[in-house]
Amino acid sequence: MTLRKIAQVGHPILRETARSLTREELASDAVQGFIEDLVATMRDAQGAGLAAIQVYEPIAICAIEVGDNPRYPYKPKVPLTILVNPIIEELGEERFDNYEGCLSVPNIRGLVSRSMRIRIRAWDRDGNDIDEEIVGITAGTYQHEVDHLNGTLFLDRVTDSKTLCTWDAFKRFYEAEFAENVRAIVERVGS
Ligand code: ZN
């Protein structure tokens, strides 16, 4: 297992479109070993998710996991999830404002509009089909990670640049209110 370097905003690889994998490629030692590296790198950097493209591998894999995360104390927990060749379909019109950050965008957060309900279709790391409905804050995390595989950063989706802030400013001025909004969403939709 190797910790990988994380590409930072401005690096052209973050704007590439990730290549889909075949089941044979996914089953290979190289890709299974890469998934171990991706998860270890995400955990080491205290990310809620990490896409392969962020560690200079433009293949359609991302990892998501939310435990007791000091970067995101208000986020509902998500067990370790590996998405391979994921496709998101937005369900319904409802949206919510999500304060996002990114391991590829150091020390900046901003408010992004996300779909409240999505359908995710993907494979897990063993090539089994995933077809689930994901809601709320967790749906926001899924949308952020799958965006990376299409060369999109959360910065591209910030509609009001006045919401951009450092992590320190977020904690001082916005976290309390946002955490309250998160609690309300989790109470209402369950995640
Ligand atoms: Zn990100």
Cα 12 to ligand 1 centre (Å)? 15
Of 16, 145, 175, 177, catalytic: 145
pLDDT mean over 108-117: 98
94 is catalytic: no
What gap in Å lies between CA 103 and CA 6, rounded to an integer?
7
Report how far ligand 1's centroid is from the alpha carbon of 53 (Å).
Answer: 10
pLDDT tens digits, one per residue of 26-41: 999 999 999 999 999 9
How large is the average pLDDT for residues 71-93?
A: 94
Of 115 and 70, the structure prediction assigns the larger pLDDT to: 115
Predicted TM-score (pTM) of this structure: 0.97
> Is the model's pLDDT at 49 over the cut of 90?
yes
Place of tokens 């690889």: 13
CA of 145 to the centre of ligand 1 (A): 6
Ligand 1 centroid–CA 27 distance in Å is: 26
The domain ranges of the chain are: 12-189
CB 187 within 8 A of CB 136: no
pLDDT at 69: 83
pLDDT of residue 74: 84
> Are residues 77 and 87 in contact, defined by beta-carbon separation less than 8 angstroms?
no
Encoded tokens for 93 = 């019109």
Query: Architecture of 12-189 per CATH?
Result: Alpha-Beta Complex (3.90)
Q: Which two tokens stand for residue 22?
A: 């075949």
State phi, psi for 122 to the nearest 5 degrees. -165, 180
DSSP string, 91-119: -SS-EEEEEEEETTEEEEEEEEEEESEEE
